[in-house]
Chains A and B, each alone.
Chain A
Amino acid sequence: MLIALLVMSFIALALGAVLGFSALKFRVEGNPLVDKIDAILPQTQCGQCSFPGCKPYATAIAAGEADINRCPPGGEEGIRKLADLLGKEFIPFGEDTAAPKPKSVAVIDENTCIGCTLCIQACPVDAIAGAAKQMHTIIAVECTGCELCVAPCPVDCITMVPLPQTLQTWKWQYPEDAQEKKAP
């Protein structure tokens, strides 16, 4: 009886020590769910979700503090992916959320720009080149189309231009849509 008790408690202690050690040794830094959610978000860093960037929004979703339908650049496809990941039901965009727009880039009218650097400070991805009292310009490939630079411009020289379709970005249409178009 006593031996059995000793053996059992020894096993319990040993296993407890192993678990305690691995909990310290293999501890996961941060919440892995946040990274998974962040990977689905489009990284425009536009703040349309009312959070200051994609990562804070992902953190809020993971903590259950925000709905999954607050990201217009991600589109309905993005909501669907988030719903899949989190095991939630798909919900349409909320009424207070802006409607998704076609992907655009900001363009600075270089004749009007006064070189105030306000847009440079607003850009979340450092996609604007320029210096004080020098003309600014946007590095188009790095612009996420977040529109955060449009409001601060004191001379309204920044416009959002939708990206034109090129042979590189062209996609085959969904066959059923294509047929519907042909039918009438």
Chain B
Amino acid sequence: MRKLHTFHGGIHPAEHKLESSAQPSLRAPLPQRLVLPLKQHIGSAAKALVQAGDKVLKGQLLAAAEGMLSAAIHAPTSGTVAAIDFHAVAHPSGLPELCIVLQPDGEDRWLEHAGFDYRALPRDELLNRLRDAGIVGLGGATFPTHVKLNNAQHIQTLILNGAECEPWITTDDRLMCERAAEIVQGIEILRYLAQPADTLIGIEDNKPQAIAAMQQACAGSGIEVVVIPTLYPSGGEKQLIKILTGKEVPSGGRPLNIGVVCSNVATAFAIHRMVNHGEPLISRLITVTGNVKSPRNIEALIGTPIAELVQLAGGALEDANGYIVGGPMMGLEVTNAQLPVVKGSNCIIVKSDKLFPAPPPALPCIRCTRCVQVCPAELQPQDLYWFARAKNLGKAQSYNLFDCIECGACSYVCPSNIPLVQYYRFAKSEIWANERDKEAANLARERHEFHLLRIEREKQDKADKLAQKEKAALAAKAAAATQAQPIPSQPAQSQPAPDPATVSATDAVAIDALRAQVREIAHPEAKHTKE
């Protein structure tokens, strides 16, 4: 039996898992229309490769990964690209994002595809294929998997995250119950890539069925299923690593710094589908729960509108008033039912006042430090709140604001109902904005200094040239004067007429110099354009 460790704090919110976890999952029929945002992952948006009007097949590459940190997007079904346009997405800003809109043709015709033997491929090639298949972390953060595994070789521990600690969400639970063997095949691919000494699967003890299924599937494979106590947020990456290994990810660091790679079980499943069946990431399991008739998990194509999934779960009940994308602790409240589900959407909760009453108005902080007791990142939430509220951003940063995982445990226990996480998000985005401004100011300063230098240099060049010309003109004049005065002893009245050729030459030089001066004064810009 593995010795388990504990992380600091944590809370026990009402679980609400049984509503949806008992129902077998359902495959959603083809939706009316699919909306695929070009940016469904952390990093830069994918680059569209198709045009409006193009006919595409299921699994066809629609947008390629662009830059180091990016992932590809594929057609979830066959059909026609209706448009590439700005469309509302599930983002707290409510700003529209560039999306590919796909009109399904109803045939669901696959592009020719087949699995391949990953052991026969070089490691780089396999990672490239993960990138081109659009595989990202499906636990919620949507970090591109090929980037995560890029430097992960001969690591100590590979951790598969099946904790699923957030209330209401049951997708990983259902996936482990129904697809345990396939998840294990995906884990084998991850093990091949990362070559870990240990491979662990962490599952909370409120999922007995999933634990049994995974234990059965892992028998004899060397993968250890570890049952951990139910406590929010044990499914947080850093928290799960602490529970299973006792090691802490350093502040500002990555799990790889301590020889650990953590990946979601759903990601392992997606890797298996891609490697062994040649299917890119075009669908995922989503929990649809809350104020609906029959809460359940649905295997939906990426890009399906929320409204169609809610219909499949029996439809919203009468007092429904909006949706939460993600879980109730960390998710995002939206009202638009036409928003598409993306790679990172693991849950849609239909809200009602009964299930999610509006929070009472916030009262002043009484410094009870209950938030300190529950903070899993061992921060001082009350101080961070104080600094964020006073817009004292530097101080907030020095109290390790960026180690906050925004789990919401502090807001959950706050007796004054202060929306603490909102303050931290505000402070974080202000700090990022200030850094952007600072960079822009530095660039402008550099360019302005260069501009002044350039003006100075041009002035200097001009002065030098003028001096040279004057010198030349003087020299010419002097030369002409010496030629013109060959017999100075002769009387003034008998001064011979100067040689006409010499006179005209001297004058021409002087006139040229004058002209050049005038030209320069009149058209200073003409000079450097000629050069």
Contacts and interface: CB of A to CB of B under 8 A. Distances in A.
Interface of A: 38, 41-45, 53-54, 117, 120-121, 123-127, 131-132, 142, 144, 165-167, 169-176, 178-179
The 5 A-B pairs at the shortest CB distance, nearest first, are namely A43-B444, A125-B447, A43-B441, A170-B93, A175-B422
Given A124-B448, A126-B450, A127-B447, A170 B95 contact: yes
Given A43-B445, A178-B422, A124 B451 contact: yes
Main secondary structure of the interface of B (DSSP, over half): helix
B110 interface: no
Contact of A121 (B430, B525, B526): B525
A173 B428 CA distance: 11
A149 to B, nearest CB: 13
Contacts of A142: 443-444, 447
Contacts of B441: 41-43
B40 to A, nearest CB: 12
Nearest to A165: B95
B91 A167 contact: yes
B437 interface: yes
B399 interface: no
Given A132-B526, A132-B529, A175-B426, A169 B436 contact: yes
Interface string B412-423: 000000010011
B129 interface: no
Main secondary structure of the interface of A (DSSP, over half): loop
A54 B440 CA distance: 14
A81 to B, nearest CB: 10
B454 interface: yes
B433 interface: yes
Nearest to B530: A132
A38 B445 contact: yes
Nearest to B391: A174
A103 to B, nearest CB: 9
A180 B425 CA distance: 18
Among A43, A53, A117, A173, max chain B CB count under 10 A is at A43
Contacts of B383: none
B205 interface: no
A47 to B, nearest CB: 12
Among B425, B440, B448, max chain A CB count under 10 A is at B448
A49 B111 CA distance: 63
A41 B444 CA distance: 11
Contacts of A172: 92, 422, 425-426, 428-430
B380 to A, nearest CB: 19
A125 B93 contact: no
A131 B529 contact: yes
Contact of A42 (B39, B92, B391, B437): B437
A132 B530 CA distance: 10
B224 interface: no
A157 B119 CA distance: 63
A117 B432 CA distance: 37
A173 B426 contact: yes
Contacts of A131: 529
Nearest to B447: A125
A120 B444 CA distance: 16
Contacts of B433: 169, 171
B97 interface: yes
13 contacts: A38-B445, A43-B441, A117-B525, A124-B448, A125-B444, A125-B447, A142-B447, A165-B95, A170-B93, A170-B95, A171-B432, A172-B426, A175-B422
A61 B425 CA distance: 35
A174 B426 contact: yes
Given A45-B444, A175-B423, A125 B95 contact: no
Nearest to A44: B444
